[in-house]
Structure 1
């Protein structure tokens, strides 16, 4: 787990370089969701460049598609394409590495970015798996601001109705969105209790930036039968540097030279700390 934590900080550096080169990107959410993606792709999911066309592979949809930079970094590390290519081409005219997931790229199951679509589509994927007697699992990551979308709750009802225990959703609960805190924009109350009332098994991940806690939660989700599982990952927006952490202004922001230097220094320090815990 220490090695995966260190990897997550290295991949955050790739995201910073990507955003600075492309002069665009949703940096705060990239930083908060990185540990979830690293846990899924390097510890949990049966997915690789070698089996990406295998009908038995696990499926992942990045519902909070504006945090695509984190997904690009993870997919590059996994070998779907090169990180150098991503940094060179991200957000450039004519590039496939656009600011939301693009299924013309290997490893990306669907285009996303219109918030609220990921969970309903994953319900369909999971239901298809049940109907076809497949053993694959389906995962999606949503933002907490995204929970204001009505389609999320239609998907939640359907997943419970069809007892989709092969479906696991994650809420990146960083409590900030582009226009302020989630509680100010559209208050969340208790996310866990809301999903439980819709018939879901819910696991509250106290530290959603802890790969150890996330890994344990995903393992627990695999044991649940007869209902879908939601992980409420309590994360820090901008996780990795005090320059960014818990600041709504970093929802979409390109670091200047001074900020870049400090962020990279902080990320390296946290990586070293993780390796020596």
Structure 2
């Protein structure tokens, strides 16, 4: 189903498309690392864990046009875990919504790239996020508005696993199960870690698949770092229709060996030596 890359006309085989997306994801991780190191603040762990998911959406799956960012039938994307915005900003820049030079201004006063996404500042951002738990409700509203207003677009919401401990998520899930919007899709970045420790220790989510099913959702579990599995997941979503959710099993800090599965990298800035080591790993394709 998905054969194009970055909105181009060339048709790729699945194998070649996967390779292109993997290469692009590695570039996105390098952008994230540079942004956070330059800003001396930010959230590398959750930005890295969502890199394949967000890159696949922006470079293959979503119907968007950077030259016409306000087209009414564009697909909508919501990064509900707004603190991971470097992964969103890098994708927006690489897709041409704004110049790459802006990435070096992350979190600076008057920058278009603030510490959480702001729709009035950042081209390509349709809604502010950052207060955890709001994204699914916002996305549901957008999905329902699409049909009410005679438009034809899909809505994709990426949530953190710690975030879905919030009660508002499940109110939105229940409402989506009731109203049954076919154009409404969610992804849980299930990396197992949140700011204060392991998700299972702070407030466990299991049985997570059964929870979503009980709220009337279609559910599929995927490897959130396997690009072919991700593409298969989105193809499945479009086939079954919404509300549908992918539970993406990921690794916090994925791509940099000393960051992977380490809770401290939720919001830690690398030192000069750590930055050098991390960039060296990413330049050769990331940690194994």
TM-score (norm 2): 0.91
Q: Identify the residue that residue 11 of structure 1 maps to in structure 2.
A: 28
Shift, 1:189, TM fit: 1.0
Match of 2:106 among 90, 95, 101: 90
Q: Identify the residue that residue 238 of structure 1 maps to in structure 2.
A: 253
Note the residue ranges of structure 1 that are not aligned, 5 or more in a row. Answer: none
Q: Identify the residue that residue 8 of structure 2 maps to in structure 1.
A: none
Query: Given that residues 116 and 149 in structure 1 are in contact (C-alpha distance below 8 angstroms), is that contact kept between their aligned partners in structure 2?
Result: yes
Q: Identify the residue that residue 261 of structure 1 maps to in structure 2.
A: 276
Shift, 1:242, TM fit: 1.0
Per-residue Cα deviation, 1:147-176 (whole angstroms, up to 9, x for no partner): 111110010011111111210000000000
Match of 1:99 among 115, 121, 130: 115
Note the residue ranges of structure 2 that are not aligned, 5 or more in a row. Answer: 1-17
CA distance in structure 2 between the partners assigned to 1:114 and 1:263 by the alignment:
30
CA distance in structure 2 between the partners assigned to 1:170 and 1:272 by the alignment:
24
Q: Runs ≥4 in structure 1, deviation > 6 angstroms?
A: none
CA distance in structure 1 between the partners assigned to 2:29 and 2:181 by the alignment:
33
Shift, 1:271, TM fit: 5.8
Shift, 1:272, TM fit: 11
CA distance in structure 2 between the partners assigned to 1:157 and 1:59 by the alignment:
21
Number of positions where the alignment pairs a residue of Structure 1 with one of Structure 2: 270
Which structure has more relative contact order (CA 8 Å, sep 6+)? It is 1
Per-residue Cα deviation, 1:181-236 (whole angstroms, up to 9, x for no partner): 0001111112111101100000100x1111211111011100114x4000000001
Q: Identify the residue that residue 191 of structure 1 maps to in structure 2.
A: 208
Match of 1:222 among 238, 241, 249: 238
Match of 1:20 among 37, 46, 50: 37
Q: CA RMSD of the aligned region, Å?
A: 1.3
CA distance in structure 2 between the partners assigned to 1:223 and 1:148 by the alignment:
29
TM-score (norm 1): 0.94
